[in-house]
Amino acid sequence: MSIAQARPDAVVLAADTLVALENEVICKPVDLDEATQMLRRLSGRTHEVCSAVLIYHQTSGRSAVFHDISRVRFRRLNRAMIDKYVAKADPLDKAGAYAAQGSGAEIIAKINGSFTNVVGLPMEKTIDALAKFGIRPRKS
């Protein structure tokens, strides 16, 4: 049973993010060797991070679909830097073998676009889209 069927009044959000280098999609690495190879390819280069988001309300049939693209430039990474990153980060569950948050700051030179998109969900666009469904962030 889908979430929409189990909770028909719920607003369901689904999203996924991919990394692309020169029009080639870079998925999640299958092992640490592949993670190392991915980071070598990204070293000193600019790539794109694209997230696609779907928001759906089954009862009303309303939906919103959007995407965001950010450009990320990596620092030039030597073997020691890559080995250190792979050892302390968890590269296997991330497209492109890296995360922008945490130790990812050590390997990223610049982000053009949404930082939260690079993390995995473009919050700026998501908040705007959810507002159209009457959902607003809680104030802390």
Q: Supply the residues annotated as catalytic.
A: 16
Spatial separation of the C-alpha atoms in residues 34 and 58, rounded to whole Å? 40
Q: Which helix (H) or strand (E) segment is 26 a member of?
A: strand 24-26
DSSP 3-state of 49:
strand
Cβ pair 113, 68 in contact under 8 A:
yes
Q: Which of 85, 69, 67, 107 is nearest to 29 (CA)?
A: 85
